[in-house]
Amino acid sequence: MRAIAQGADGASSLKARTLALWVAENRLAQAQLDDPAPAPGTTTGEDAQAGVLFAWRRTVDASPNPAFRKIEIVVTQDDQPGYALARLVGYVGSGLR
């Protein structure tokens, strides 16, 4: 019985992490489409994926190359804000021409 419970917990955890990664990927894609590029700083919000609500935090920083900005997206569930289900880092053009 314990093995069944652990298997169910593992499956629900994998589902939550997968959905959270989709939220992170969507937030990064949106940042890549934004014109002008996102300004440095931190932004927070919430997104639902498959009926589950997730909280996200986007941090935009400068990168060694001034033509790009580093973006980090961290996704959590509202009931566990200190536990990151997904973390995604990407880069976008800074809008310098």
- 41-77 confidence digits (pLDDT tens): 999 999 999 999 999 999 999 999 999 999 999 999 9
> What would the pLDDT profile of 24-41 be if each residue is shown by its tens digit?
999 999 999 998 889 999
- Confidence (pLDDT) at 68: 93
Whether the CB-CB separation of 71 and 58 falls below 8 Å is answered with yes
Q: What is the pLDDT of residue 36?
A: 87
Using CA atoms, how far residue 6 sits from 37, 52, 77, 87, in Å, is 44, 21, 21, 25
Find the radius of gyration of the CA atoms of the chain.
16
pLDDT score of 2 more than 70: no
CA–CA separation, 1 vs 11, rounded Å? 16
Q: Which of the following CATH numbers is that of domain 2-93: 3.30.1300.30, 1.10.10.10, 3.50.50.60, 2.40.160.20? A: 3.30.1300.30
